[in-house]
Amino acid sequence: MTVYVRSLETAVPTTMLIQAEARDVFAAQPGLSRLGSRLVGTCFDSAAIDTRFTAVEELTNEARSEDPQFYDPRTGLLLNPSTKVRNEIFAREATKLFVQAARSAMDANPELDLLDITHLITVSCTGFFNPGPDYKIVRELGLDPAVQRYHLGFMGCYAAFPALRAAKLFCEADPNAVVLVVCAELCSLHVRTSNDPDTIMGSALFADGAAAAVVTARPGSEEHALLQLDHFETVLTPVGEDSMAWNIGDNGFEMVLGNYVPHIIDDHIVGALEPLLAREPGLAALPYSAIPHWAIHPGGRSILDKVESRLGLTEKQLLPAREILRNYGNMSSATVLFVIRNILEQAPQAGDERICSMAFGPGLTVETALFTKLRQAPARASAYRKHQANQQDRLPVEAPVG
């Protein structure tokens, strides 16, 4: 049975962070050591990010709050709210993104009714509340109250793939199933000033965003489908358990993102791809660059550099991942769906448009997937382009070179 993605839509908060401005704020904090100040400049400037989006409106100099919790522009100080405060904001603001992305994905399917949704899978690792986002989507969109609901929590940047894989399995088990998958992350809730290199790197990379997909194998789905879900595989690298982690602290969630992660990926990416490509021997016999599209989770610039070099890919094949990193930053689980959406928006090519996709997360876990692009996604103005038009004078003239 062939399973299809009927729509794939994205959403971001309304507040844009300019990377150079965020760098200056973090570099000016009074508690930084000389080494910490240098690390802030290096991490922010080498991240290959121009802009990011945040649900925390007060993180910009234009925002004014009588009782600031994250950043006080009057003093220039970054504040350090408790995990409870951060999570309360997550419950409120993440709900907006979950619902916005889900509604957009359903609006892109006029042939489907909201009551056609049989399964709902939500994904997030940046906060918790219950009744959770799955419940909120059902209520806000008016889905059938009996819809089967599942939440994948705290898995990290690769979690979109387990969600899509579960959706595929549901559709294979029930040919009438229609599955709504929604990922939403508010990573910026957990930024803080610190001399710790992992914390500084996280502050330079992470951002907020959401993505939603409608998945089904119903007869006639191919006519309206964007993407065919072919294969999924999971690999744990033999090293790296301590190099990437996501822990809960008293003042937010704490990222462990060691500088050895790109080297681990460099050493083990070929082995991680073997089980996936073995599913189609014809592909396994070809050079990696023969696969037209590569949807790589942009965990950071150096990770993309290692993937491109080790697999012998072209600059063009990594362009979708680099564009998403530059315009949106790392939005954890939602990010790879932004990259896939970027590929779907490209004009069709001649021949079979296969997509090989990878995402990395704690463990070190490598999730891989093969898709087939079926048609071009409908053109739509991205949130980035809307903000770019409104704030052109504030944007950097040239992207940082890293």
- The three-class DSSP label of residue 11 is strand
| E strand or H helix at 273 | helix 261-277
CB 159 within 8 A of CB 98: no
Q: What is the total residue count of the chain?
A: 402
Residue 172: HSE in the Cβ half-sphere, 13 Å Cα cutoff:
12
Residue keyed to tokens 């789905």: 221
Write the burial class of residue 312 (CB in 10 Å: 0-12 exposed, 13-18 middle, 19+ buried).
Answer: exposed
Chain-centroid distance of CA 30 in Å reads 32
Q: Which of 302, 380, 367 is CA-nearest to residue 336?
A: 367
Rounded Cα gap, residues 97 and 185, in angstroms:
9
Rounded to the nearest angstrom, the gap between the alpha carbon of residue 331 and the centroid of all alpha carbons in its chain is: 4
CA 71 – CA 60 distance, rounded (Å): 8
- Distances 52 to 63, 271, 327 between C-alpha atoms, Å: 16, 33, 6
Q: Which residues contact 381 (CB under 8 A, 6 or more apart)?
A: none
Would you tell me how many other CB atoms lie within 10 Å of the CB of residue 104?
18
Angstrom distance (rounded) from CA 3 to CA 23: 44
Measured CA to CA, the distance from residue 162 to residue 159 in angstroms comes to: 6
Whether 356 is catalytic: no
* Residue of 157, 183, 187, 356 marked catalytic: 157
- Unique residue bearing structure tokens 């970027």: 342
Q: Which helix (H) or strand (E) holds 69?
A: none
Alpha-carbon gap, residue 325 to 339, rounded angstroms: 9
**Angstrom distance (rounded) from CA 279 to CA 372:** 14
Q: Cite the active site residues.
A: 157
